[in-house]
Amino acid sequence: MKQNPRIAIIGAGLGGTAGAALMAKAGFNVKVYEQAPAFARIGAGIHLGPNVMKVMRAMGIEDELNRIGAHPDYWYSRDGITGEVMAQIPLGDYAVSHYGASYLTVHRGDFHKLMTDALPPGILEFNKKLSKVEDLGDKVVLSFADGTTEEADIVVGADGINSKIRDTLLGSELPKYTGYVAHRAVFPTPLDSGALPFDMCCKWWAGNDHMMVYFVTRKKDEIYYVTGVPESTWDMSKSWEPCSKDEMRRVFGGWHSSVQALIEGTQEVTRWPLLERDPLPLWSRGRMVLLGDACHPMKPHMAQGAAMAIEDAAILTRCFQEMGFTDLDAVFNLYEANRAERASKVQLVSHNNTWLKTNENPDWCFGYDVFTTPLVDAKKN
Ligand code: FAD
């Protein structure tokens, strides 16, 4: 392997972009290929825990995120019908003093834009849909839908739940529909919040349904909700579909007046299938390696899916920095040994949808530091 091999990242989602930024900062020769022609500010929010904000610090965008994002004082869990507090987890100043970074909620589009803007010029190419990848032993050939080809020495599959790189390593297989959908809406904060003022960050729970609600701007002028609601079937040819206020009224009829106020304030709402895969038997082979949803897609109920993709990217970069590029099998084994257990744990807790429903201690998740946690030896794992 060359001293400074050509690293191609497929997919400039949240994991791929973090990987490209961190690898470029480390001085590596990295390029990222994204199928989309550009990114839009789609209607979704995202939580950025202290574990992610430490990676944003390394990327140089922590301060700007702190400036634009909302800083929830607590994560509340409330009974969806009565509004009674079931859990109150301290965030805000406590997160900064206890975990060493903020806990933020932001607009996903604003976050993604800040990340892509942090990339050095010329390393991100849009309109590059990977259609075929061939590991020839001494190099990898990437073929794109626009008829072009590129060569690389290492390929990182950060291409999401329907990853072409995963399919190449393990054979083509659709992800599993979990039997749940998520409704998502971002809209101007309603003036009337029902019987309670809006909490900065609150998950409402009743029966098998929930609604997670938080602000996506520091000014608190935009609010977001994302639900989890059982629905027996989903047409797998669609990645989402439009929904309506009437459906929201029907599903959440009888819920607390704060939830009703949100539904009445909704401008546009969409519905997304919640998909998963079983843990993969391998994360890498030869010159190709996976990260994020390409290897451990999960239900979003811990709000840590993107966080796991970003942590993967940081640990993979760290493994390259510590081990170099002479023995890729050893580097990729070290990477997997340091990611599989944590990602699987987050996947399982997300699947069970129990996170912060009661007053549990979230230190193992929020307190993790990708840069200082000692690396576990791959052989001993
Ligand atoms: P993605 O973000 O899916 O990025 C993959 C990229 O690869 C895309 O840009 C795609 O266009 C590109 N791509 C795909 N195929 C190709 C190809 N052939 N060629 C080139 N490019 C390609 N996570 C959190 O941490 N916090 C949250 O609050 C949160 N909320 C969520 C709410 C919902 C309803 C859902 C469904 C998920 C949520 N998640 C959340 C999870 C999070 O969105 C994912 O885990 C995260 O986006 C995974 O990042 P990724 O980079 O691995 O994949």
Q: Closest ligand 1 atom, CA of 291?
A: 52
b vs e for 162-196, b when ≥16 Cβ sit within 10 Å of the residue's Cβ?
bbbbbebbbeeeebebbebbbbbbbbebbeebbee
Q: Nearest Cα to 288, choosing from 151, 144, 163, 140? A: 140
Q: Counting beta carbons within 10 angstroms of the beta carbon of residue 15, is it exposed (0 to 12), middle (13 to 18) or buried (19 or more)?
A: buried
Question: Atom 47 (ligand 1): residue with closest C-alpha?
Answer: 306
| Structure tokens belonging to residue 157 | 């599959």
Question: Atom 53 (ligand 1): residue with closest C-alpha?
Answer: 160
Instruction: For residue 161, report the distance from its CA to the centre of ligand 1, in Å.
Output: 7
pLDDT, residue 381, reads 44
Main-chain dihedrals φ then ψ at residue 210, nearest 5 degrees: -150, 165
pLDDT in tens, the chain (381 residues): 677 899 999 999 999 999 999 999 999 999 999 999 999 888 799 999 999 999 999 999 999 999 999 999 999 999 999 999 999 999 999 999 999 999 999 999 999 999 999 999 999 999 999 999 999 999 999 999 999 999 999 999 999 999 999 999 999 999 999 999 999 999 999 999 999 999 999 999 999 999 999 999 999 999 999 999 999 999 999 999 999 999 999 999 999 999 999 999 999 999 999 999 998 999 999 999 999 999 999 999 999 999 999 999 999 999 999 999 999 999 999 999 999 999 999 999 999 999 999 999 999 999 999 999 999 988 644
Instruction: For residue 306, report the distance from its CA to the centre of ligand 1, in Å.
Output: 7
Cβ pair 163, 211 in contact under 8 A: no
pLDDT, residue 254, reads 96
Within 6 A (CB) of ligand 1 lie 10-16, 33-36, 46-47, 128-130, 158-160, 164, 182, 184, 226, 272, 292-294, 300, 303-307, 309
| Structure tokens belonging to residue 68 | 């634009």
Q: Of the residues 17, 31, 35, which should be mutated to test ligand 1's pocket, given the most ligand atoms within 8 Å of the CB?
A: 35
Instruction: For residue 10, report the distance from its CA to the centre of ligand 1, in Å.
Output: 12
**Which amino acid type is present at position 294?**
A
Report the half-sphere exposure of 318 (CA within 13 A, side-chain side). 21
pTM of the predicted structure, to 2 decimals: 0.97
Main-chain dihedrals φ then ψ at residue 133, nearest 5 degrees: -135, 135
Catalytic residue among 47, 112, 210, 296: 47
| Structure tokens belonging to residue 139 | 């190099």
Cβ pair 78, 203 in contact under 8 A: yes
Angstrom distance (rounded) from CA 334 to CA 315: 9
Cβ pair 106, 44 in contact under 8 A: no
Angstrom distance (rounded) from CA 47 to CA 107: 9
Count other Cβ atoms within 10 Å, centred on residue 335.
25
Q: Closest ligand 1 atom, CA of 49?
A: 25
pLDDT, residue 41, reads 84
pLDDT, residue 1, reads 67
Q: Closest ligand 1 atom, CA of 161?
A: 3
Angstrom distance (rounded) from CA 44 to CA 109: 7
Question: Atom 45 (ligand 1): residue with closest C-alpha?
Answer: 305
Question: Atom 33 (ligand 1): residue with closest C-alpha?
Answer: 300
Q: Nearest Cα to 292, choosing from 343, 337, 331, 334? A: 343
DSSP letter at 141 equals: E
Decide: helix, strand or coil at residue 314. helix
Residues 6+ apart with CB under 8 A from 364: none
Instruction: For residue 282, report the distance from its CA to the centre of ligand 1, in Å.
Output: 20
Is 47 a known active-site residue? yes
| Structure tokens belonging to residue 304 | 């840590």
Instruction: For residue 69, report the distance from its CA to the centre of ligand 1, in Å.
Output: 20
Cβ pair 66, 191 in contact under 8 A: no
Q: Of the residues 159, 216, 311, which should be mutated to test ligand 1's pocket, given the most ligand atoms within 8 Å of the CB?
A: 159
Q: Nearest Cα to 261, choosing from 68, 91, 107, 83? A: 83
Instruction: For residue 34, report the distance from its CA to the centre of ligand 1, in Å.
Output: 12
Q: Nearest Cα to 258, choosing from 13, 81, 73? A: 81
Q: What is the DSSP code string of 223-265?
A: EEEEEEEE-S---TT-S-EE--HHHHHHHTTTS-HHHHHHHHH
Q: Closest ligand 1 atom, CA of 184?
A: 34
Catalytic residue among 74, 99, 214, 335: 214
Instruction: For residue 324, report the distance from its CA to the centre of ligand 1, in Å.
Output: 28
Count other Cβ atoms within 10 Å, centred on residue 32.
27
Q: Closest ligand 1 atom, CA of 159?
A: 7
